[in-house]
Amino acid sequence: MSSKKVNWFYLTIVLLHIGVVTGLNLYTYYVGYLNIPIVLNLLMSQGIILIPALLFALFSKEKLNDLLGFHKIKISSVFMIILFTYLMMPMTTVINAISMLFVDNTVMQMSGSVLAMPMPVMLLTMGVLGPLSEEIVCRGIVFNGYKRSGNAFRAILFSALLFGLMHMNFNQAAYAIFLGIVMAVLVEATGSIWSSVVFHMTVNIQNVLLMFVSDSMYSDEYMQEAQTLTGNTESMLAVIGIYSVIAAVTTSIAVCVLVWIAKNEKRDIHLKQIWTERKENRGNMVTVPLLLGIVLSVAYMILDVIL
C-alpha cells in the first residue's frame, strides 16, 4: 500500500469517527441518552479503524502478512522488549503529566466504567484486542505504507503522528505520538510487528491491572482525592520534576536494550540506517487527504475540549 492510499485511509477513519459520534449525539438530542457499555464502546472504537484498514488491505491485492509484517522474533527478544517497555514508561508518564497541565486525563475519566466490569473482560478488551487492532493498523498498514513511499525515518514520524491523532483527544495524543515513534523504531529493530504488539500489550495490561489493584487497595475517598490532585498544577509539576530525573536514567538504559534487541535479531546495521538515510527523498508523503484529515482531527479535539 502506498502513502497516498494510507492518507486516504486516514481521512476515511477520521470521517467515520466524526460521523459515528455525530450520529450518537443526534440520537441523544432527539431520542434520549444512549448508555453504551464500556466494552461495546471500546469495540466500536477499534472497529472504526480496523474494518476500513482490512478493507483497504484487501483491495490492495497484497498478501496480508507481507503488508502487516508479522514475522518471527526470538523468545529472548520478547523478554527484552518487555524490559524495554518498562524502561520507557517513566518518559511516557512525564509526557502524560505535561499534557495534564492543559487537558484532563482521558483514561482516568473512564476508570469508573472500566472498574464496573470484570477484570478479565477488560484485560481482554483493553489489554489484548485493543493493542492488537491498533498495531495492525498503525505499525502494520500505516507505517509500512509510508515506508514504501519514503524513507523509514519519515515513515516513523508520520505514522506516529497519525497514531496520536487517531485517539481524537489531546491527552492521549501527546504520549501516543511519543509511543508511536518508539514502537515504529522497535519494529525496525526487530523486523516484525510482533515487537510493537508485545510493547503495546504490556503497557495496556499494566494500566488495567493498576486500575483494579488501586481500586481494591484504597478507599473511594482516597481515590477521589488522588483524582483531585491530578488536576492540581503544583502536583503535576512535582510529578514532572521527579519522573524527568527517573526518565533520564531509564530511557538511556532503554536505548542500550534497543541496540541489544537489534543485534539479537541481526538488524543493528538496519537500525543505524534509519538515521543515516533520513534525508533521502523517495517520494512525497504529504497529500491533500492527509492534510484534511489532520485539520479535521485537530478541530474535533479542540471542540471536544471546549464543549
Handedness of CA 147, 151, 153, 157 (dihedral sign): negative
**pLDDT score of 223:** 58
- Is the model's pLDDT at 203 over the cut of 60? yes
Give the confidence band of 227 by pLDDT, cuts at 50, 70, 90: low
Contacts for 18-24: CB closer than 8 Å, 24+ residues apart: 18/296, 18/300, 20/44, 20/48
**pLDDT score of 105:** 85
The mean pLDDT of 68-95, rounded to a whole number, is 95
The mean pLDDT of 76-96, rounded to a whole number, is 97
Write down how long the chain is: 307
Which percentage of the chain shows pLDDT scores above 70? Answer: 95
Give the confidence band of 231 by pLDDT, cuts at 50, 70, 90: low
**CA neighbours closer than 13 Å in the CB half-sphere of residue 111:** 20
- Is the model's pLDDT at 222 over the cut of 60? no
Give the residue extent of every domain in the chain. Answer: 3-306
Confirm if 139 and 187 have CB atoms less than 8 A apart: yes
Distance (Å, whole) CA 70 – CA 53:
16
> Chain-wide mean pLDDT for the chain?
90
**pLDDT score of 283:** 72
- Is the model's pLDDT at 226 over the cut of 70? no
Distance (Å, whole) CA 25 – CA 22:
5
For 117-128, the pLDDT digits (tens) are 999 999 999 999
- Is the model's pLDDT at 109 over the cut of 90? no
Phi then psi for residue 22, to 5 deg, are -60, -45
Of 219, 269, 255, which is closest to residue 88 (Cα–Cα)?
Answer: 255
Contacts for 222-231: CB closer than 8 Å, 24+ residues apart: 227/108, 230/100, 230/105, 230/108, 231/100, 231/104
Type and span of the H or E element at 291 = helix 288-306
For 20-31, the pLDDT digits (tens) are 999 988 988 888
For 255-270, the pLDDT digits (tens) are 999 999 999 999 999 8
Give the residue with greater pLDDT, 61 vs 113: 113
Distance (Å, whole) CA 297 – CA 85:
28
Residue 146 one-letter amino acid: Y
